Amino acid sequence: MKANITRLRNNMTSKVNKMLNRKMQVKKWRYLCFVSSIVGLLCYALSPSFNHLFGKWNLLKVSLYCLFSFVICLADLLANAITWQKSPSLRFRAHLAVSVFTITTIYSFFFDKANAKPDAYSLISSAAFAVMSLCMSKQTHLGFEVDLLYFFCGYFTLQLMKIKKVLAVVGACFAYSLIMFRVYLGESGLPIQDQPSIGNQNGAESDPILHFIPNNTAAPSVVEDPIRHFYQTNPSNENRKTMVRKLIDWIIGRV
């Protein structure tokens, strides 16, 4: 009995520590995304790319740019708290992906027509936006974050090539480091939310009984009486053996 209690206490302690570590990781990614977006927006406002596309600053442009920057920064801070509790619909994700694709394509068209060489502000802004896209891919699963990462990495490399073609190696190394870092995070078990995840996002094994919970049933009631809830689900004959096996494994794990 004491051994079971000790095992249960250790399991609970491990789960609590994992939850705390994940919350700390989410906060770090959120603040890094926020800081990189501020740096990117400020540097882009001071870069010649903005003047080439939108002309000189005036009161209207300052107001609109401040409003746009505020929306971007607010979305960075609340990215993990908005859906982000519930996965958005496929239609919404498709419309959002098409919008991002259209905006980046139009911007690339005007960027190709620019003859002026980019300065330090342009390079810093594109690099900061690439880091922001990487951080967004750690927090949301809207489907366009990775595309933004590739776009800004390519944009950064093209800017370096306009300065000197040899600098394309620097841009390629920068893009490679960000992309491989993202792959490393996925291989190490940290959540990368390109697609909506089901169950525990930390990669831990979830309780099999949770797969039998209807949408309108709360999880605490299942934990109190899993046997009663199991029979309420009325499984088919071909799946009954599998469900019973999972239920038995779950009960043994709770003992």
**pLDDT of the residue at 39:** 93
Element (H, E) at 77: helix 59-82
Higher pLDDT, 5 or 38: 38
CA distance 167 to 158: 9
Greatest mean pLDDT among 45-49, 157-161, 179-183, 239-243 lies in 157-161
Alpha carbon distances (Å) from 190 to 83, 178, 185, 218, 225: 19, 15, 5, 27, 33
**pLDDT of the residue at 174:** 93
| pLDDT digits 0-9 by tens, 201-248 | 444 444 444 444 444 444 444 444 444 454 445 445 445 556 656 655
Q: Which of 19, 20, 79 is nearest to 200 (CA)?
A: 19
**pLDDT of the residue at 3:** 66
Cα–chain center distance at 91: 19
**pLDDT of the residue at 188:** 54
Amino acid letter, 174: F
Contact 145, 29 (CB under 8 A): no
**pLDDT of the residue at 199:** 41
Both tokens of residue 169?
């190696």
| pLDDT digits 0-9 by tens, 85-130 | 556 677 777 877 888 888 888 888 877 776 667 889 989 999 999 9
CA neighbours within 13 Å on the CB side: how many for 164? Answer: 4
Output the CA angle 129-130-132, nearest 5 degrees: 60
Confidence at 135, pLDDT banded by 50, 70, 90: confident
Answer whether residue 19 shows pLDDT above 80: no
**pLDDT of the residue at 202:** 42
Cα–chain center distance at 164: 34
**pLDDT of the residue at 138:** 76
| pLDDT digits 0-9 by tens, 28-87 | 778 888 899 999 999 998 888 888 888 888 889 889 999 998 988 887 777 665 554 556
Report the greatest alpha carbon distance in the chain: 77
